[in-house]
Each structure stands twice: as C-alpha cells, then as structure tokens.
A = this chain, B = another copy of it.
Amino acid sequence: MSRYLTLIPYLAAQKILKNSAKPKYQVKTILVTESSGLVTYEPVFSRLTVPPGAISQRDGYAANCSETLEATDKNPVRLEKYSWVHTGSPLPDGYDCVIMQEDTRTDNSGVISIIKPARPGQHIQKKGSEIHTGKMILPAGHRINPEDIGAMVGYGITSVQVKSMVAGLIPTGDELKEPCIAPGPGEVIASNSPMMAAYLKELGITSISYPIVPDDPEKIREAIEVAVRECSFVIISGGSSTGIRDHTSRVLGEIGGILYHGVAIKPGKSTLAAIVDEIPVFGLPGTPGGALAVLRELILPWLSDSGHPVPIPHSIEVTLAESVPSELGTDDFVQMVVGRVHDRYCAALVPRGGGQMASVKSNGILHIPRNCEGWKEDKTGIIELTRLFPHPDNILLFTGETDPILDFLDQFLRSFQMELFARKTSWETTLISMKNRKFHGGVVARPRVKGRYLSVDHSLLSEEVKTITLAEREYILASRELFHPETMKGKSCPTLLENSFLSAFMQEYFLAHDIDITQVSSITPVCVNEQDIVYKIRSGEIEFGPCPAFQASEYDLVGPVIGCISIDLMIREEDIASDQMKRIIDLLSSDEWKDTVCLIPGYSSKRSGQISSFP
C-alpha cells in the first residue's frame, strides 16, 4: 500500500459516486401520523371526495333560487319551500342555493320572506370542490411535511408506503472507547456514530450503530460483511488513511471494488468509497471534523443525486471578518460563525484547534474551491448555513479574551433567542477588530492590582469605546491543601514572567504577609500557562502557585484569593444605544445576572454591569 494518498478532485469524487453508487432502499408501510420527514415510495391518491356532497357555507335557509327571482327590498317574496341549515351541514336534496339569515325577514307568525334574488349555487360548497377520489395528493419521492400529513389524514389515508433507508455506522480504531468508559491516555470516545445518526435522522434515514471494531483486518472485514447485508449504505469511520493501522482500504479492495481513495478536500481528504455486494461503503476519517465534512460534502450530495430529498442549505452573503487561507488544488470547507453586524452579515473563523466545539459553535461553511488560494478579508462571499437556530441576525460576534463567564452570558441570551460567539484573538487583533466593524465588540481582561486596573496598550485604538463588566475572575494561591502563609518558606512554586500580573498578584500577597520571596523556591522553566500551573500543583511537581479560582476548584485545589481580573465587553460608543447592546447592558446589570455570577465558583459580581470609558 502506498504511503501517500493519490487525491482526486472533489467534483470528480461527486461524479464517481453519482454514476457508480446507489443506496439500496426498502419499502415500508407506516402510519401516516408517523411519516413526517420520510419519503413517499408511491404516489398517494385521495380515497375520498371532499366534501362528499354539497354543503352549506353559511347559517341560513336552503332554498330554490327560482322562487326568489322577483324578490326586492320593497317586494319581499315569501319562501314556500326551504330548510334551515348550519355552516358546514349537508345541503338537503332538492335545493340549489343557501340564503343567509341577514337577507331574509321573518314576521311574527314565522313566515320567511326574502328581499333579493339568489343565484344558483349561492353559499354552497360543491361536492368534490376540495378534492376528488383518485386525485394525487403527493407524488412518489416526496418528503412528507406536517401539512401533507393533515391532507393525507383528511383525505382518507391512514398508512403510506415510504422508501426506508438504513445507514450502517461502523467505528474502527484501537484507540476508541464506548461512551461511559473514561478514556485513558491516547484513547478517545467514539462519538462519530451518534453524531452521524442524528444527522441522517433529520433526512429521514435510520441508522444501525455497530460496535467498535479494533484495527484488525479480519474483524473489519467481518463487520463490513454483516453491515452490507443489513443496510442501504455503510459508513466506516476511522482507518481510512494510509497509516500502518489503516486497514479499511485494503479490506474493501479484497471484498469489493474501490471507487476512490483520497479526495482533495479539507478536512476529510483521507476518505474512500467502495462497492461491496452492490452496497456503497464509505470510509471516513476518524476525526469528528473530517467525518462531518465528508458526510456533508460527499455523502449528502450523493443521496440527493440518488433521488433522496436532501434540503439545500440556505446560503447567505457575508463579508469575511478576516482572511481565510487555502491550499491550491484543494476544496476547503471552513467552519465559520455568521452574525449580522450593522447592515451586513460578517463571518468569522472558528478556531480550528477546538475539536468538536468548533462544530458546536459554527453555523456556516465557507467553501473555497480548488482553484482559489484563499479569500481575503473584506471579500464578500456565500456561506451555507449549517443550522437554522438562532438566525444569524441574532448572533453576536466578539473577539479578544475568552473566559468561561462568556458561556454564561451566551446562556442568558438564549432566552432572547440570541447567541454569543466569542473567540480568542491577540490584543492587537482585538483592537483592530473594534475599528473594522466586523465584530459586535471585543473582550478585554484587565487585572486589578492594588485596587487599580493594570494599564493596557491601546495605541491601535482609534474608536471611542465603552467597557461593560461581566464579572471579575478571582485568582487564588492554589495548593492541594490549605497552608498557613508562614509555612511557605522552602516550598516550590512556578517561575513566572517578571512583569506578569500573576507575578504581581504573588508579590502583593507576599508583601501583605511579610514573606521573603527569596526563601520560596521557584521551579524553572518559566511557566506562563495558568492551566499548566494547575496541572503541576495537582501532580505534585510544584507545591503552590497562582491560578484562576474556577480552574483550581475543578482540580480540588484550595488557597486564599490573591487578586482578580475584570472581564469586560468592549463596545463601540456608537453602538451602545443599539437594541442588542441595550439588551446586554440591561442583562449585565440585572440581579438575575449577578445572582448567577455569584453561584459560579471563582467569580465575583461586585462590578458586574459597570460601564466605563476605555481605556
């Protein structure tokens, strides 16, 4: 087996699938009431004529219009033959019109006279005016909507034949663990099957999730042989590359015919397709991002080409909030977040390293075709939306510092059907973004030392900016067990950058407790990552150190508070009166928000909702 894949172009892969692979479906008869989202196998014809006979459309008198021809307001005509009818009740035999009560007079003795002529058929809904027996309600190959269910039931249909497709999902890989099992080093929980099953269910396709198969050619072969007997098509995730442990393609080559192995797409290039016993079998990368991309960009279009109704994603024209590089020769599918900033939709990159959180956060895909080296910032382009809720109009884009407190702000916004997207960028990028109006704002984290914010470089800022405080993140001098300041002497702590705020927090604490810094032993190398400090204290590598209280609490570390960082939104002053920002300000100064902040370990709500000028 060759070490590298020979990649075929994306469109070539689509074409091969279209021409060479057909899903095998079965025909199932199911109750109409359970058919929503499924696809009709045969046309559905009305079993009824509706209405089954003429009915009255008004409360009034069924009559014969020939009796009424001479009637006027001045010369009322007495009705000889009539019958009282309700709206919706059948027209009695022998009448050809309905006269509304308003168009009649009744004298004391109950004699009814009418005051204007009626026309034949007046206020009568004719037999079959809605539908006739035998009229097609739905064609074959139609995806059933709720409205269709109403029509089928109303027109006498109780069960319907649908095209039933079953996808077989096989996870492979020695590193995979079933959910519920805590993964050890180098292990991951198999999550592609449930993700794909949920995705396919939205298309009316059910799935069989097979157990995890280890990297063993014999076992992979057995699993595939079972699946092709039971399924319309099969998706194997993992093992589709060309590494030593990637057996999928060799096995498929032995028991079937490979259609392609390697497609010039990113993510997901190490994907393959084959036919085994006439059943299409897809090999997907094991990474969730790669698997999702191949499912969405190759398998869905193939299902559509095969006649299965796959909704076309809605597209939206966006301005790119930053440049998106791409490799020539590769079709790139880039996860983005789209939100409306002022009068245009802006799209920001979702950090690529975020694992599955990138798919959770993103709401659109930017497709950069193979002949393109990437898209420049400010370019307008089309993005396909991957989810419909919330609408991009209601998604707020922030950039700068990240902090867990932003997740709680996002949660509060959900009750207004809004969503907050916040991602990490350098301070410089954050300030430039404030100017470029492709984000709603920035996030700044400012340490308070000796009661004052540490100053930040704002030379790049040309805008008038306000800050709104979300909360203050508290820092503790963490250790595995509480100790008295006097016992610190000789204990080990991380070496910190000299002018860092962590070092300032420590110094302030040492000063306040009259501790001689030189008597504390610092562990080199310099430690800049707060999370690393937590890990090192937890593992015993160092004995104490400064870290965020919320991270410390996750690892059962304890210690005194030594400082805090104010987490603030930065909003352009011109936007501060906008509806969305007013909502955020109201929210952050509400008691509900402060009460929530108080319940999060390691945060203080003391200054939440405060608005200041920045810097």
Q: Is A180 an interface position by the 8 A CB rule?
A: yes
Q: Is A158 an interface position by the 8 A CB rule?
A: yes
With A554-B132, A554-B133 known to touch, is A414 a contact of B151 (CB < 8 Å)?
no
Expressed in whole angstroms, the Cα–Cα distance for A563 and B564 within the complex equals: 91
Q: Are A186 and B389 in contact (CB under 8 A)?
A: no
Expressed in whole angstroms, the Cα–Cα distance for A292 and B355 within the complex equals: 42
Q: Are B417 and A356 in contact (CB under 8 A)?
A: no
| Per-residue interface assignment for chain A, residues 54 to 72, with 1 indicating a CB less than 8 Å from any chain B CB and 0 otherwise | 0100010000000000000
Q: Are A52 and B183 in contact (CB under 8 A)?
A: yes
Tell which of B149, B156, B311, B353 touches A194, judged by Cβ atoms closer than 8 Å.
B149
Q: Are A156 and B143 in contact (CB under 8 A)?
A: no
Q: Are B86 and A243 in contact (CB under 8 A)?
A: yes
Q: Are B150 and A292 in contact (CB under 8 A)?
A: yes
Q: Are B388 and A185 in contact (CB under 8 A)?
A: no
Expressed in whole angstroms, the Cα–Cα distance for A63 and B152 within the complex equals: 68
Tell which of B32, B138, B360 touches A151, judged by Cβ atoms closer than 8 Å.
B360
Q: Is A334 an interface position by the 8 A CB rule?
A: no
Expressed in whole angstroms, the Cα–Cα distance for A415 and B201 within the complex equals: 20
Query: How many residues on A have C-beta within 8 angstroms of the other chain's C-beta atoms?
Result: 107
Tell which of B139, B156, B314 touches A189, judged by Cβ atoms closer than 8 Å.
B156
Q: Are B185 and A52 in contact (CB under 8 A)?
A: yes
Q: Are A354 and B130 in contact (CB under 8 A)?
A: yes
Q: Is A128 an interface position by the 8 A CB rule?
A: yes
| Per-residue interface assignment for chain A, residues 353 to 366, with 1 indicating a CB less than 8 Å from any chain B CB and 0 otherwise | 11111011000000
Expressed in whole angstroms, the Cα–Cα distance for A135 and B183 within the complex equals: 17
With A188-B154, A191-B154, A415-B307 known to touch, is A139 a contact of B88 (CB < 8 Å)?
no
Q: Is A202 an interface position by the 8 A CB rule?
A: yes
Q: Which residues of B contact A404 (CB under 8 A)?
A: 134-136
What is the distance, in angstroms, from A81's C-beta to the closest C-beta of chain B?
A: 19
Q: Are A151 and B357 in contact (CB under 8 A)?
A: yes
Q: Is A428 an interface position by the 8 A CB rule?
A: no
Q: Which residues of B contact A143 (CB under 8 A)?
A: 389
Q: Are A154 and B288 in contact (CB under 8 A)?
A: yes
Tell which of B36, B131, B145, B183 touches A355, judged by Cβ atoms closer than 8 Å.
B131
Q: Are A148 and B360 in contact (CB under 8 A)?
A: yes
Q: Which residues of B contact A355 (CB under 8 A)?
A: 50, 129-131, 151, 154
Q: Is A317 an interface position by the 8 A CB rule?
A: no
Tell which of B129, B154, B196, B198 touches A356, judged by Cβ atoms closer than 8 Å.
B154
Q: Is A371 an interface position by the 8 A CB rule?
A: no
What is the distance, in angstroms, from A567's C-beta to the closest C-beta of chain B?
A: 15
Select the residue from A48, A359, A360 with max chain B CB neighbours within 10 A. A360
Q: Which residues of B contact A191 (CB under 8 A)?
A: 149-151, 153-154
Q: Which residues of B contact A153 (CB under 8 A)?
A: 179, 189-191, 194-195
Q: Is A197 an interface position by the 8 A CB rule?
A: yes
Give the segment of A21-29, A257-265, A405-413, A579-587 that binds chain B.
A405-413
Q: Which residues of B contact A390 (CB under 8 A)?
A: 309, 312
Select the residue from A145, A390, A408 with max chain B CB neighbours within 10 A. A145
Q: Are A357 and B189 in contact (CB under 8 A)?
A: no
Select the residue from A33, A88, A190 with max chain B CB neighbours within 10 A. A88
Expressed in whole angstroms, the Cα–Cα distance for A130 and B351 within the complex equals: 11
Within 485-503 of A, Cβ neighbours of B (below 8 Å) are at none
Q: Is A439 an interface position by the 8 A CB rule?
A: no
Q: Is A256 an interface position by the 8 A CB rule?
A: no
Tell which of B196, B310, B408 touches A139, judged by Cβ atoms closer than 8 Å.
B408
Q: Is A112 an interface position by the 8 A CB rule?
A: no
Expressed in whole angstroms, the Cα–Cα distance for A160 and B132 within the complex equals: 48
Listed from nearest, the 8 A-B pairs whose CB atoms lie closest are: A150-B195, A139-B411, A130-B355, A154-B191, A90-B185, A146-B198, A90-B186, A141-B414
Residues on A lying within 8 angstroms of B by beta carbon are 32-33, 36, 43, 48, 50-53, 55, 59, 86-90, 127-143, 145-151, 153-156, 158, 175, 179-180, 182-192, 194-199, 201-202, 243-245, 288, 292, 304, 307, 309-312, 314, 353-357, 359-360, 386-391, 393-394, 404, 407-408, 410-411, 414-415, 417, 531, 535, 550-551, 554
Q: What are 29 inter-chain pairs, A to B, with CB distance below 8 A?
A: A43-B411, A50-B188, A53-B186, A59-B244, A89-B186, A129-B355, A130-B353, A134-B404, A136-B408, A139-B411, A139-B414, A140-B411, A143-B389, A146-B196, A149-B195, A150-B191, A150-B192, A150-B194, A151-B356, A153-B189, A154-B191, A154-B356, A307-B415, A309-B390, A309-B414, A311-B388, A311-B389, A312-B390, A314-B314
- Contacts A43-B408, A142-B411, A309-B414 supplied; 17 other A-B pairs, CB < 8 Å: A48-B182, A48-B189, A51-B186, A53-B185, A53-B186, A86-B244, A88-B175, A129-B355, A130-B356, A131-B357, A133-B554, A136-B407, A137-B357, A139-B411, A150-B192, A154-B188, A312-B391
